[in-house]
Amino acid sequence: MATRDHRRVSLYDLDSPSLNPQTHPHHPQTHPQDAESETRAQKPPPTNIVTSLHASHPLHISILSTLIIISSLCLLIYSHVSISTTLWFSTDSTLSTTGDCGAIGFEDVYEVSFIEAVRRTWDSGAIFLSLLIFICSGVWPYLKLITLLYVWFVPSSPPRRSTALSCLRSLGRWSLFDVYAILVVKSASDFTLSGSQPVAVNVEIRPGLAAFAATAVASMLHAEWMHDVSCRNVGVVAVSAKTQEGEVGSVTDMDSETGNLLQQQTVLARPACSRGSKLNALALAALAALAAVMACAYSIPLFDVEIGGLITWIDDGPDINRNFTAGGIIRALASTCSLSRTPMKAPVYFLVAIYAVIVLALPPIALVVLAALDRKYLRSVGAFLSLDVLFLAVVLMTPKLEGLMQTFIGPKCEEIGVANCLKLTGKVGKGSWLMLAAALMLIGGINEKFIKCEGIRERAEGVFKACRRSVLTSNTPMDAVVEGGVECTRLS
């Protein structure tokens, strides 16, 4: 039984004499009359190929993808015009007998939309923070969705499309900045002070914020999917360049002998995300250091909040100090006291789930995948890591808690005749800086040059020539495995 000749072909040795059908010792000489057709066949495919992802997918997938983007855009508009949070504030004297988790009849309500939040933040003196919220949560989400629509419908060359999608994958997580900032405010502002002048504050999560978070996550997932299918289709587009239409399919119109040998063949170009061989000592030490930093970042408080003001001085009570770790934020959001004061619990549960998955679960998963050297899944997981976004939200929002709360409760304190009746003083904890270190280490481990979709045009041309020459130098059609995760396979 004849054995199939499998050989490895390097993309860097395409001009080797052993791969050249004209100089290979065992290859039959080409007839003179076929020299012209052979010369034409050896020309690389055109590089000015423009295609659209919309046209290269079945109709039902194209419609579904379009609906996802448009629905996300509509949901984003709703989240910006609706109420995102509600701040409840009460100085009812009955609070002294209700206890910390009792049913409190809040008498003052401040409904806050996205624009109102930006304005209040500006009025509190946090000008840079308000601008950052406006850009990350107001401008960038629309730009991201419009770019997804553009990339999906407008024909473009594979390198340009991959660059656009790579930028969306790298920057998409910054849409969550506003969500993290509000979670910091809510976890720090849910409390009750009992005494001769009791005070209770509660921040309620409304559907507007949940809709915004859903839009951000959906756009991140869709950008990741579009980037993946774009990279996988690179080689197919290059081989079918003869049609000048960018159609994905078999090569049936090649010139002369090359066309006959490559008929019913296609080239599949996967991103260079191959699995590594083993971890060296330096890599193991780096992974151990990353694991230690992550463990400390999750166990040490991210920020501290001190509750003070004239109300606490009246009762001769000490200021109340509270600290929050990464997991402590979830406990504050989903605590019995907080939920008992929240009429609408579904948005809270939804945000808690998103925070738990992206902040608490994905970084350890990324560490495991990084240790396994599985670049394919590491790239996908890395697109959703947002420890750096949470760090920036904590660092910028925590010092501004005092001024931000005064813009809301300052007028009420003046009504009861006690200026500065309540004061929140925030301080960034050591856990935040450890979280930044963990984020930078993860980013450094993920963004290696061999897991990026770089050099697409040159890569596709090399794949085309390697597969063509490997078939020409064989007596029978065969499967040629090309280095770098690229395969030239028979369809039948």
Q: What is the pLDDT along the chain (492 residues), one digit of tens a residue?
A: 444 443 333 333 333 444 444 444 444 444 444 444 444 444 444 444 566 777 777 888 889 999 999 999 999 999 999 988 888 776 654 444 444 454 445 555 678 889 888 988 888 788 899 999 999 999 999 999 999 999 998 887 777 888 888 888 888 999 999 999 999 998 888 877 665 556 677 788 889 999 999 999 999 999 988 888 877 665 444 444 433 333 333 333 333 333 333 333 333 333 333 333 445 677 778 888 889 999 999 999 999 998 876 555 444 445 578 899 999 999 888 877 677 777 788 899 999 999 999 999 999 998 888 777 666 677 778 888 899 999 999 999 999 888 887 777 777 666 666 666 677 888 999 999 999 999 998 887 776 533 333 344 444 455 555 555 554 444 444 343 333 333 444 333
- Distance, in Å, from the CA atom of 117 to the CA atom of 182, rounded to the nearest integer, reads 10
Rounded to a whole number, what is the distance in angstroms from the first to the last CA of the chain? 20
Looking at residue 357, its pLDDT comes to 94
Strand-strand pairing, 8-9 and 480-482: parallel
Q: Which residues pair with 89 in a beta bridge?
A: 108, 201
- Amino acid, single-letter form, for residue 21: P
Closest CA to 139 of 106, 112, 110, 174: 174
Looking at residue 48, its pLDDT comes to 46
Looking at residue 462, its pLDDT comes to 54
Looking at residue 108, its pLDDT comes to 58
pTM of this structure: 0.72
Looking at residue 167, its pLDDT comes to 87
| CA-to-CA dists, residue 27 to 20, 23, 263, 392, 469, angstroms | 9, 8, 20, 64, 11
Looking at residue 9, its pLDDT comes to 36
Looking at residue 425, its pLDDT comes to 86
- Distance, in Å, from the CA atom of 267 to the CA atom of 56, rounded to the nearest integer, reads 16
Residue with tokens 């925070």: 355
Looking at residue 50, its pLDDT comes to 60
